[in-house]
Structure 1
Amino acid sequence: MQLIECPWCGPREETEFHYGGQAHVDYPPDPAALTDEQWAQFVFFRANPKGLFAERWSHAAGCRRWFNAVRDTATYRFHSVYRVAEQKPTIS
């Protein structure tokens, strides 16, 4: 069992968390103006790199807050976690 560090609650078992997708994706300023194809691009198409990746996570069975994490998609190892309002750490 892997421990994930919640920025508010500290380390907890991974079963308490839910993945929320790619972090730092800006919502379209005027979604009603988008074509169906543009909306589909926004909703369904995300980066899928091998290596370090910024993601959104929710501590669903704990404080129920959202936070961001930098995780290695090849090893599943979390490199850092940070609150949504905080700046993304440098990913190398």
Structure 2
Amino acid sequence: METQARRCYLLFESDSLRWSYVMAELQEQDGTNGLRQMIPIREVLKLLPVSRSTLHRMVRDRRFPQAHELSPMRVGFFLDEVVEWQKKLGKKET
């Protein structure tokens, strides 16, 4: 039996320079066939106020979740890993 949790995360929208709430439905892993949502790098860049080069450096230096190659010219990030990274970042500042 799959369970879903609805969670709300505060994310920065670099295009509009404002904070907004983004709803994300994350499946809780039940050990069977639950899939994790992936987002492309361009969506990650919309959520973070950093350049593509800075994001690549952060991934290389392991300061951001690792990208996963989907095809030779396409990578994706697991949404739950990005959200967890953001939560930990907020805890470091407080």
Higher RCO (CA 8 Å, separation ≥ 6 residues): 1
**Higher-helix-fraction structure:** 2
Q: What TM-score comes out, normalization by structure 1 length?
A: 0.24
Q: What TM-score comes out, normalization by structure 2 length?
A: 0.24
